[in-house]
Amino acid sequence: MHRGLVQLASCIIGNNSNDFASQKFRHALRTALCTLGLAFTLGACGENDEAIKTLAITALNDWFSAAATDNPPSCHAFGLVKFHDASCADMYEHAAQIEPGSRTITSSTLLKCYGQGRQELCGEFVEIRLTARNTNGKKIQEGAVLKRDAGVFRLYWYRSDALFTTLIKRTDDEDGERAPERKQAQLEAVYAEIVQRQPELYQFVVCKEASVSSSKLVGKPVNPKDISTADMALRAQQCPEIFCLAMVGKRIAPLCN
């Protein structure tokens, strides 16, 4: 018991490590580790939520560190299968564009499942949201989801503002030869299909000549078969201007125009 209290005290005091994590990131990790140490010191049984989050944060920290080296990190195979619009290289290359010392964790959440429709997979997930700045000093939002298999957390999904913009541009480039009229016709055809399936969606109009950008998006694009009136209604509440539906590739992108 005395040894446990000594270890806990040293944990609270902290250290002067020069590792990848920023002061705020290290503080969040150290606090979680101290919480875990206190639970063990007091004889707690099994893992609690904070202990699980700590393991995921540590794994993400390691992945970020590797992304900034000449030995890029690997990504969870199921994550690449389910969310194939971004490759592992896309993810670690964009993660490496972030100034490491600028990262701050804004939230960490335990999830039983991640994704929607055919993209959904259930298991043990932790979603982590961060704010950061890239090497040019621009503010960037990051999000990461880690999945634990056989006791080990691995990066399942990573996106940032910059990566999302890259994916949108890539899709637009692939569709570059299509005339605007053809893209609008595609949107209207998909819209007619989903409204026929769910008449309540008629309250949400299609965008007219709207350009899709990460700043206009209200949440993530969804597959037409997975769209729901309740979900769109919640997103529309976040838009004080014109809320409309556009297309990104084959997915519906809710925009605040």
6-57 confidence digits (pLDDT tens) = 332 333 233 333 344 455 555 555 555 554 444 444 334 468 999 999 999 9
Q: Which two tokens stand for residue 124?
A: 């043990």
Last residue of a domain, one of 108, 130, 160: 160
pLDDT for 31 equals: 53
Q: Please check whether residue 166 lies inside any domain of the structure.
A: no
CB contact at 8 A, 204 and 243: yes
The model's pTM is: 0.56
Under DSSP, the state recorded for 46 is: S
| Count of H-run helices and E-run strands, the chain | 8, 7
The four Cα atoms 22, 24, 29, 35 give a dihedral, to 10 degrees, of 160
Residues 232 and 154 in one domain: no
Q: What is the C-alpha separation between 191 and 201, in angstroms, rounded? A: 9
Residues 10 and 131 in one domain: yes
The four Cα atoms 121, 250, 109, 96 give a dihedral, to 10 degrees, of 110
Strand-pair category, 121-133 with 205-206? unpaired
Q: What is the C-alpha separation between 125 and 74, in angstroms, rounded? A: 17
Residues 80 and 129 in one domain: yes
Q: Which domain holds residue 144?
A: 2-160
Residues 144 and 188 in one domain: no
Residues 150 and 187 in one domain: no
Residues 146 and 187 in one domain: no
Under DSSP, the state recorded for 253 is: E
Tell me the chain's radius of gyration from C-alpha atoms: 21
Residues 150 and 183 in one domain: no
Last residue of a domain, one of 127, 160, 193: 160
Q: Which two tokens stand for residue 63?
A: 């992945």
Residues 125 and 185 in one domain: no
Last residue of a domain, one of 133, 160, 187: 160
If one compares 161 and 182, the residue with the highest pLDDT of the two is: 161
Residues 147 and 224 in one domain: no
Residues 58 and 119 in one domain: yes
| Total tally of structural domains belonging to the chain | 2
pLDDT band for 183, please (50, 70, 90 cuts). confident
Strand-pair category, 139-149 with 152-160? antiparallel
Under DSSP, the state recorded for 119 is: G
Residues 10 and 85 in one domain: yes
Q: Angle CA(180)–CA(211)–CA(217) in degrees, nearest 5?
A: 135
pLDDT band for 204, please (50, 70, 90 cuts). very high
CA distances from 243 to 95, 238, 246 (A): 31, 9, 10
Q: Please check whether residue 170 lies inside any domain of the structure.
A: no
Residues 115 and 230 in one domain: no
